[in-house]
Structure 1
Amino acid sequence: MWALAASAAAALLAQLVSLTIPQVLQWIVDGPLTDGDRGAIVPLSLLVFGLGALEAAMFALRRWIVLTPSTRVEARMRNALYAKLQDLPVSFHDRWPSGQLLSRAVSDLGLVRRWLAFGLVLLVVNLLVIVIGAAILISMSWVLGLVYLACSVPLWIVGYRFEGRYSEVSRRSQDQSGDLATAVEESVHGIRVLKAFGRGKHALSTFRAQAESLRSTEIEKARLDANIWVWILVVPAVALAICLVLGVWLAAQGELTVGELVAFFATATVLAWPIESIGFLLAFSLDARTATDRFFDILDEPNRVGDPARPVSIERPRGELAFTDVHFRYQDSPERFGDLLDGVDLVLRPGETMALVGLTGCGKTTMTALTTRLYDVTGGSVTLDGVDVRALTREELRRHIAMAFEDATLFSASVRENVLLGRPELAGDDPETRAEADRVLTEALRIAQAGFAYDLPEGLETKVGEEGMSLSGGQRQRLALARAVAADPAVLVLDDPLSALDVATEEKVEAELRSVLADTTALIVAHRPSTVMLADRVALLEEGRITAVGTHQELLRDSEHYRFVISSLEDEERRAEAQEADLFDDDLDDRKEAVR
């Protein structure tokens, strides 16, 4: 705040200096020029030059003072926004388009910074200068001063009307900019799909429609801005014209000296910029207010998946994971659809591997997400070693339970950084930490059959690119699995992490996983019969409930629905193998044709 105050003081001093110059001009006109004393003109002229130099220095000082603090404020706001986005639950990110969040973090906060450094200071200072200047004008000639002020009344009326209309259009413009950013991001991330289906022109037409909508809004903003500029430029000019006619008449009547008349219009000229800037600064302030509102839309979002006030801790977890009468419904799900999970009861014993099977859409992935509180149960409880997961801090809970997802997401970082993401204590550069990190990394890559990482251009230091898109789907899944294994959790939750692997690679990964799962509690969502074979027991999820638990053979014998699910998985696996074989044959034919 001190920087803003100092900057405003420097700007105000600069404007007060500029208001002093007309007084010196009055002395020159009524003194040396009237008396014919040429020798007195030089020191007064030097005084005008000195005042102008001081004004310029104060403007430079204003910029210098406020530049660094305003960027610090922007950085703190951006850090606070990012921290909030990291803290908010997955349900929030399910509802908010990423482009809207991106526009708030970049363009909106940049606008707020510029307003703090420039708009706020000048708006306050220019308003003060207008008030002080008006008082000076009245002191010179109360008649001319009152006429000048009376002509300004339409400006305040127009400004009041402008504020309400411009605020609405400004908010609409910034929201549309966020939607446009979302469209660009989705197109870039989905470029392979758009090209594969030949839908580039369709995406372009959709983008054009959104861009045209934003353009129309920006034109509406410009029209509102132009309207107020007309008033701001015309009204002072009309006021000066009236004052000029009236001032010449008063001077002819001897009620004003020529010097006072010159000083009056010189002062009015100095006030021209503060008056003209009000329209721009008002629009700027309204844009900044909208940007601030959008910023606090995120910061004020309540977090329903937070840490407890008095968290408990589990020093050495055994790995017993239990679901007790678990109910869950997505936040925006209509009540008529009922709960997705409707009374789930399931206990995983320490060191046990449990496969979770069921038809598509029955809630398997949602059930796994409840273990690490990506979502919170809406009824019942999930416990780790008898402790409700909501009683642990999220950091500790996610240290004890690691997840690997079917849709493997990697970050724009090296293979090493991606795999060791869950082991921040191994990020040091000292030899002992580095050696331990290498050991963990090597073991995790071996288990996940991700040895291909060593053959990348820079080995384990190779940057995998945005979301790991430079790698194949199977490579991304193997690195994601290695990341989960490297975290060394008490409970490992795998949401069909091998779906993109060929059968041979899957068999190797499963063989290596058995060594890990021997001492680790594991919950595996199975979409392939081969994955079920990894499990000690199998849980069947049907219509939001666990309807059967047992070994694979027991369920095949006792559960008709389980037999139906397994047969569906086998059919899907056969189709995938056939498709893979067709792709291989097509590739082989293409190579033969190329050789010919």
Structure 2
Amino acid sequence: MPDCDFGDPLLQVLSELAPYLRRHTRQYLLGTVAVVMTALFITATPRVLALAIDALRSGGAGNGELRRYGLTIALLALSAAVFNLMQRRQMIVASRQIEAELRHDLFSRLTTLDRAFYDRSRTGDLMNLMTSDLATVREVLGPGFNMGSRVTLIAVGALIGMLALQPALGALIAVAVPALIVVAALLRRRVSQRFQEAQAKLSDIAARAQENFAGARLVRGYALEEREQRGFDDLNEEYVQLNLSLARVEAALPAVMGLLMAAAWLAILLIGGRLVIFGAGLSVGEYVAFTSYLALLAGPVVDFGRLLNIYQRGVTSWERLRRLLDARPLVRDSGRTDFSITGVQGDIEFRNVTLSIDGAQLLCGVNLRVPRGSSLGITGRTGSGKSLVAALIARQLDPTGGRVLIDGQDARELPLLVLRENIGFVPQEPFLFSDTLSENIAFGLPEARSLDEERALPMERVRWASGVAALEREVAKFPGQYDTLLGERGVTLSGGQRQRTAIARAVARQPRILILDDALSAVDTRTERRLLANLRELLHERTVLLVSHRVSALQHLDQIVVLDEGRVAEQGTHEELLARGGLYAELQRLQATSGGPGEEAEPV
């Protein structure tokens, strides 16, 4: 016997969605009342029709009585339409509101998740969750509830009406219900499996498209448009085939339902017709009513297949959404967080810090100290762990061993909000929004947090920050200056201009700790010197960490740390490290002989 508990996963989904459903209890209660009234009016109509036909056949019905029957049927139909409209308005509106609430919570969860989550997630997958999967869950809460409650009550009412008119014939029709449940149970898991595969493939398509849009210049630069098109077409064809497979499974249920209904019509014609002909307990009016009830039952039977698909798709999509809602950042405030801390002075210390990710040890026994208001340069070969040191200070990651201290306290004891509000972090590949230059620079300022379009940005601070970042000369040449709209991810700027815009954004906040993670790699040497001079002059009271491969960017800093294979290989001032003739001196010799980078490209 197949597993027939296909309602259990749906009940589990509804129990998990209960907090959202409770906010809309009134709407769903009104919708349920409207469903009950709709079903009552619809299922009462065949009974009135039977009385009218039998009255006509008996010859005892006058014009007045016929008008009353006609008016009653019209009023029943009008009442059913009004309550059906009320039902849809209540349930569909509630489902749209819940969809908006879920989208809010999903976005809120995504904004709290940390680097580890995004390192293993694809943008296309997340976009698919926020659109396709969310819409599928909404269908359960709106059309699914609306149709499910209506067809269930109408089906029950029709069966009761048939049993009341002719118990034996009604019972014969009723035995088809277990057959429907068996068929539905057989198909349930196949629908779920194929829908999961189709949704996964749709995520692949979204991810492939997103990567190609973001890397459009690279694709064109390598003349690989045709290859990427073929790859996309292959994914698209696989998605079509998966959906065709799903459609074949979903189509089986309505086909079986149709056969069962055809058998029911045949039974009524053969058995019910003989009862009418021989006057064996079924009048002509009752026969017409019986067939009307069967017609009413046909709709729910056919809709049952569609409902099963809606519910099963919804269950599958909710499982995907729930995994996202249940995700928690590895780096977060905890029981050891001291919420009495409201500020940061900028003293940094690493005590025997070790970091392992996926079993690989990336940092080992790192010890260093950066006094408040001083500057530290971090350099080393590619893959030596430079960016990881910066990430640990900003608590994008937590060490697996040792301690990172801020102002003498373990960084894990500081509230994340307080720590990050006092850190200006600039990665090597900065992200810029598709907005004006001024909005991008002012992004982290309190004045920019309002979404009011009439808000006034602190332009003096914006101009000051762009001056520190050695960006003001280029801005003066832009058509709209600070009101210049940047393309997506700042594509209209050169690489160096994007990096300096990100530096201006970090500097504008006047953070206690400024971290530049190889944020000058695309900046020419002359601009780099001017920018670093500005930083030394204006941020002398701030703690500055500069991660760079270039010795020229580090030589004027208070101290320099050289990393090698996750360990501190050398530490000292520029002059001290050159005198030792070690790894730092080797880097300096190599860069001196190879020459510095050229000038930046002009903006597009």
- Normalised by the length of structure 2, the TM-score is 0.91
Distance 1:411 1:570 in 2: 37
1:481 pairs, out of 503, 517, 520, with: 503
1:261 lines up with 2:312 in the alignment: no
Equivalent residues of 2:343, 2:422 under 8 A apart:
no
1:323 — aligned with what? 350
Distance 2:375 2:236 in 1: 52
1:294 lines up with 2:320 in the alignment: yes
Q: How far apart are 1:140 and its partner, in Å?
A: 1.1
1:266–1:384 distance in 2 versus 1, CA, 3 Å? same
2:14 — aligned with what? none
1:71–1:429 distance in 2 versus 1, CA, 3 Å? closer
Q: How far apart are 1:572 and its partner, in Å?
A: 5.7
Distance 2:594 2:81 in 1: 77
Look up the SS of the partner of 1:327 in the other structure. strand
Distance 1:223 1:102 in 2: 27
1:52-451 counterparts in 2 under 5 A? 52-255=77-280, 256-309=282-335, 310-330=337-357, 333=358, 335=359, 338-425=360-447, 434=456, 437-451=458-472
- Cα shift readout 1:535-560 (whole Å, capped 9, x = no counterpart): 11111111211122111111111142
Q: How far apart are 1:223 and its partner, in Å?
A: 0.3
1:5 lines up with 2:29 in the alignment: yes
1:21 — aligned with what? 45
- Cα shift readout 1:562-582 (whole Å, capped 9, x = no counterpart): 2223334445654x44xx69x
The amino acid across from 1:319 in the alignment is: G
Look up the SS of the partner of 1:339 in the other structure. strand
- Cα shift readout 1:49-72 (whole Å, capped 9, x = no counterpart): 111111111121112223332222
Equivalent residues of 2:517, 2:548 under 8 A apart:
yes
Q: How far apart are 1:457 and its partner, in Å?
A: 3.5
Distance 2:567 2:451 in 1: 48
Distance 2:245 2:164 in 1: 42
Distance 1:423 1:172 in 2: 44
Distance 1:285 1:573 in 2: 65
- Cα shift readout 1:238-276 (whole Å, capped 9, x = no counterpart): 111112110011112212111111111111111211111
- Cα shift readout 1:151-189 (whole Å, capped 9, x = no counterpart): 343322111111111011111111211111111100000
Look up the SS of the partner of 1:548 in the other structure. strand
Distance 1:448 1:371 in 2: 22
1:527 lines up with 2:549 in the alignment: yes
Equivalent residues of 2:346, 2:542 under 8 A apart:
yes
The amino acid across from 2:354 in the alignment is: H
Look up the SS of the partner of 1:540 in the other structure. strand
Distance 2:350 2:404 in 1: 5
1:313–1:319 distance in 2 versus 1, CA, 3 Å? farther
Aligned length: 572
- Cα shift readout 1:511-553 (whole Å, capped 9, x = no counterpart): 2122134211111101212101231111111121112211111
Does 137-146 or 8-17 show the bigger shift?
8-17
Distance 2:227 2:275 in 1: 71
1:562 lines up with 2:592 in the alignment: no
Q: How far apart are 1:214 and its partner, in Å?
A: 0.9
- Cα shift readout 1:407-458 (whole Å, capped 9, x = no counterpart): 011112222221122222465699xx958x2221111010111223344333
Look up the SS of the partner of 2:563 in the other structure. strand
1:505 — aligned with what? 527
Distance 1:572 1:111 in 2: 58
Does 487-496 or 107-116 show the bigger shift?
107-116
The amino acid across from 2:305 in the alignment is: G
Distance 1:568 1:285 in 2: 65
The amino acid across from 2:353 in the alignment is: V
Q: How far apart are 1:84 and its partner, in Å?
A: 0.7
The amino acid across from 1:369 in the alignment is: A
For structure 2, the 5+ residue unaligned runs are 1-24
1:239–1:205 distance in 2 versus 1, CA, 3 Å? same
Equivalent residues of 1:527, 1:569 under 8 A apart:
no
Look up the SS of the partner of 2:378 in the other structure. strand
Look up the SS of the partner of 1:501 in the other structure. coil
Distance 1:165 1:536 in 2: 66
1:428–1:4 distance in 2 versus 1, CA, 3 Å? closer
Q: How far apart are 1:8 and its partner, in Å?
A: 2.7
